[in-house]
Amino acid sequence: MAITGIKGFNDILPGEVEKWQRIEATARRVFENCGFSEIRVPIMEKTELFARSIGDATDIVEKEMYSFVDKGDNRVTLRPEGTAGVIRSFIEQKLHAQDPVAKLYYMGPMFRSERPQKGRYRQFHQIGAEVTGITNPRIDAQILVMLCRFFAELGITEPTLQINSLGCPECRPAYRAALKEYLEMRRESLCDDCRRRIDTNPLRALDCKVIGCGEATAEAPSVLQHLCSGCDEHFASVRRHLDATGTSYSVNHRMVRGLDYYTRTTFELVTGLLGSQSAVAAGGRYDGLIQELGGPKLPGIGFAMGVERVALLLSDEGLARRPDLFIAAHGEAAGDEAFRLMILLQGEGLRVELEYEGKSLKSQMRRADKLGARYTLVLGEDELVSRRGKLKEMASGEQQELPLEPAALARALSCS
């Protein structure tokens, strides 16, 4: 019996991969225009890095991590998200010594042991960005505008931007206490997870997908009413910059995010098209994380988007790769010449194919059709003698006669 892949770990095949390439190329272009550089960090880190940064009482660390003990007795984890590794590297490689302001982006696989379903997998991919060393709310707005521009450039207009502020260590404890008190009074209506969260992570109850919890917390106190003046002003400035740049958003005071390190601004891009997998991208400010991980006292902000979810929203129109030219040949000598021309034209940057296994002319033309070749060229005895051939445009059926010369052919193919 053939060996299958692991459940929740997907293959990305030709036909689908073109979407991924477009998503990645668009991210690179849009992010680099905003001054970001790529960073590549390992997919495995010490388990304690994630436990310390993401937080012990989060779903990710409690239930979703792929952790194991390696042969050297080290506790290691396949990364469930990208921020922890990037910040670990920022500190370890002392990037802050050259410049406390780093603007970094990354893309690659992440691993979470969740129940696989549409838009939720065990190996999935994120494209994310992080900025260190800037407190000014203009950078919050820059990141949000950049994210919206990325989606606009892909022609994806549906997700909407929701923003919130989670306050800071100064004002959040009072909010946490108020929320805890509110939840305590409704303990009976909450799910088991949320009852536990009352003590460990009460904010998460606002985000619970169980309907009863949604109803029980409908009137819960709002974090925005508990912000200290610094956080309140910061959030007002972010909104002002979004307004000034014509970026649409809504404020959602119930959005709490699943990672402990967030402070102040948090945000999500939310779609109605993917069922309960509604968050396409998410992020926020993490002003305490760099120090928490042993680095200097510098603020940070970042986001990550799920590439599978972006791909589900992206139309595949115009993405299929088609050969510019398919060369069909009749006879052995013509086959050799077709091969030589193909190699030369590929060198000119054209996508050119032929049939390797010497089939009939008719079956070669069927293959040209199947591949969707824009042009075909048929070589036989006559063409070899005259050194001229007929280039046929498949869509219109129009033919033009040309010398069998790479330069002339390349010119004709590039003109269209």
**In angstroms, what is the minimal distance from the CB of 294 to ligand ATP?**
23
Size of site (CB under 6 A) for ligand ATP: 19
| x-marked contacts with ligand ATP along 45-84 as a string, rule CB under 6 A | ------------------------------------x---
Comparison of 306 and 323: residue with beta carbon closer to ligand ATP: 306
- Mark the segment that binds ligand ATP (CB under 6 A) among 139-147, 210-218, 298-306, 317-325: 298-306
Contact between 277 and ligand ATP (CB under 6 A)? yes
- Mark the segment that binds ligand ATP (CB under 6 A) among 121-129, 135-143, 226-234, 335-343: 121-129
Exposure of 70 by Cβ count < 10 A (0-12 exposed, 13-18 middle, 19+ buried)?
exposed
8-state DSSP, 226: G
Which of 103, 120, 226, 264 touches ligand ATP (CB under 6 A)? 120
Which of 87, 183, 205, 281 touches ligand ATP (CB under 6 A)? 281
Those residues with Cβ within 8 angstroms of residue 32's Cβ, 6 or more apart along the chain or in another chain: none
8-state DSSP, 119: T
**In angstroms, what is the minimal distance from the CB of 59 to ligand ATP?**
7
Comparison of 258 and 406: residue with beta carbon closer to ligand ATP: 258
Which of 31, 36, 90, 121 touches ligand ATP (CB under 6 A)? 121
- Mark the segment that binds ligand ATP (CB under 6 A) among 138-146, 237-245, 273-281, 312-320: 273-281
- Mark the segment that binds ligand ATP (CB under 6 A) among 196-204, 300-308, 351-359, 404-412: 300-308
Exposure of 28 by Cβ count < 10 A (0-12 exposed, 13-18 middle, 19+ buried)?
middle
Taking alpha carbons only, the member of 393, 309, 305, 366 closest to residue 83 is: 305
C-alpha neighbours within 13 Å on the C-beta side of residue 201: 22
Which of 124, 235, 261, 267 touches ligand ATP (CB under 6 A)? 124
Contact between 112 and ligand ATP (CB under 6 A)? yes
Those residues with Cβ within 8 angstroms of residue 235's Cβ, 6 or more apart along the chain or in another chain: 137, 165, 224, 227, 264, 265
**In angstroms, what is the minimal distance from the CB of 98 to ligand ATP?**
29
- Mark the segment that binds ligand ATP (CB under 6 A) among 140-148, 303-311, 331-339, 393-401: 303-311
Comparison of 81 and 383: residue with beta carbon closer to ligand ATP: 81
Contact between 153 and 32 under an 8 Å Cβ cutoff? The reply is no
Comparison of 258 and 335: residue with beta carbon closer to ligand ATP: 258
3-state secondary structure of 402: strand
CB atoms within 10 A of CB 408: 14
Q: Which helix (H) or strand (E) segment is 67 a member of? A: strand 66-69
- Mark the segment that binds ligand ATP (CB under 6 A) among 291-299, 301-309, 316-324, 362-370: 301-309
Token look-up 């992570």 returns 201
Q: What does the block give as tokens for 309?
A: 């979810």
CB atoms within 10 A of CB 116: 15
Contact between 265 and 284 under an 8 Å Cβ cutoff? The reply is yes
**In angstroms, what is the minimal distance from the CB of 281 to ligand ATP?**
5
Contact between 197 and ligand ATP (CB under 6 A)? no
Comparison of 27 and 279: residue with beta carbon closer to ligand ATP: 279
Backbone phi, psi, residue 49, to 5°: -60, -45
Q: What is the CA radius of gyration of the chain?
A: 28
* Rounded Cα gap, residues 39 and 350, in angstroms: 32
| x-marked contacts with ligand ATP along 308-337 as a string, rule CB under 6 A | xx----------------------------
**In angstroms, what is the minimal distance from the CB of 157 to ligand ATP?**
17
Hey, which bits of 156-215 come out as E strands? 160-165
Hey, which bits of 148-289 come out as E strands? 160-165, 250-251, 263-270, 279-285
Taking alpha carbons only, the member of 71, 78, 8 closest to residue 49 is: 78
**In angstroms, what is the minimal distance from the CB of 258 to ligand ATP?**
4
CB atoms within 10 A of CB 321: 12
- Mark the segment that binds ligand ATP (CB under 6 A) among 24-32, 98-106, 215-223, 306-314: 306-314
Q: Which residue has the closest beta carbon to ligand ATP?
A: 306
Binding interface with ligand ATP (CB under 6 A):
81, 112, 114, 119-121, 124, 126, 258, 277, 279-282, 304-306, 308-309
